[in-house]
Amino acid sequence: MTAQELAQQHCTPQKGAHRRIEDEALAAALKDLRGWIEIDKHIAKDFQFTDYAQTVAFVNQVAALAAAEDHHPDIMFGANRVRVVFTTHSVRGVSLNDLICAARIEAMRDAA
């Protein structure tokens, strides 16, 4: 599934049906998600900004998206940088919802 196709989807509760994306499928999906990498059963991306106001605005956009999708990343930020990390604890790894959120963040950035 391409990043564009993922970005058109929404996260869904997967009670009992959640599945971890296996290594080969995850590697293929990440090829289409610019800059997202797999780190220890998580996916992550670092974003750079020119000033603190842009940094905080982006954090707020990601937080709003996460709240709307009911799928919440870890977000770490400083003066001009943000790291967003997704994982699905119930599957002990990366799920489709993580990839959807990453793709939706990319689409949000492209639209800005």
Q: Residue 51: give its domain's CATH number.
A: 3.30.1360.20
Tell which phi-psi region holds residue 32, choosing left (phi > 0), alpha (psi between -120 and 50) or beta.
alpha
Residue 49, in any domain of the structure = yes
Predicted TM-score (pTM) of this structure: 0.91
Residue 63, in any domain of the structure = yes
pLDDT tens for the 112 residues of the chain, in order: 788 888 888 888 766 666 889 989 999 999 999 999 999 999 999 999 999 999 999 999 999 999 999 999 999 999 999 999 999 988 889 999 999 999 999 999 887 7
What pLDDT does residue 14 have? 67
Give the domain extent around 97. Answer: 18-111
Residue 84, in any domain of the structure = yes
Residue 7, in any domain of the structure = no
Domain count, the chain: 1
Residue 62, in any domain of the structure = yes
Residue 78, in any domain of the structure = yes
Distance CA(112)–CA(20), nearest Å, equals: 31
Residue 11, in any domain of the structure = no
